């Protein structure tokens, strides 16, 4: 779990009342915010579904939406049908 997320979640010290899901908390620390639909745990839990490629592309879109400096930078090529949902590399 990322360090800033842990600090925000603990809500201690300077992070009292902080929301670990508020993208402005990350922006204030100059850290990219990763929305829930783009987090590894979310994608990993759907890794064996037939539409995993689409989910990865949607994750890339979500990251770009919440981090404008990444607009049109991340690849969105995973829904092409070349990802094997039965592949065990995802854990």
Residues 57 and 79: beta-carbon distance below 8 Å: yes
The vertex-42 CA angle with 80 and 13, nearest 5°, equals: 140
Length of the chain, please? 91
Tokens standing for 64?
């770009």
16-48 pLDDT, tens digit each: 999 999 999 999 999 999 999 999 999 999 999
Q: Which residue has the tokens 């990251």?
A: 63
Q: Which residue has the tokens 């929301």?
A: 19
- List phi, psi (to 5°) of 55: -65, -40
Q: How far apart are CA 61 and CA 71, in angstroms?
A: 8
34-91 pLDDT, tens digit each: 999 999 999 999 999 999 999 999 999 999 999 999 999 998 988 876 555 565 554 4
């Amino acid at each position: 779990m990322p360090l800033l997320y842990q600090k925000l979640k603990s809500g201690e010290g300077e992070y009292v009342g902080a929301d670990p899901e508020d993208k402005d908390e990350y922006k204030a620390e100059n850290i990219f915010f990763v929305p829930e639909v783009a987090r590894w745990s979310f994608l990993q839990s759907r890794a064996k579904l037939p539409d995993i490629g689409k989910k990865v592309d949607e994750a890339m879109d979500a990251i770009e939406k919440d981090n404008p400096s990444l607009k049109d930078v991340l690849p969105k090529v995973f829904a092409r049908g070349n990802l094997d949902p039965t592949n065990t590399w995802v854990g």
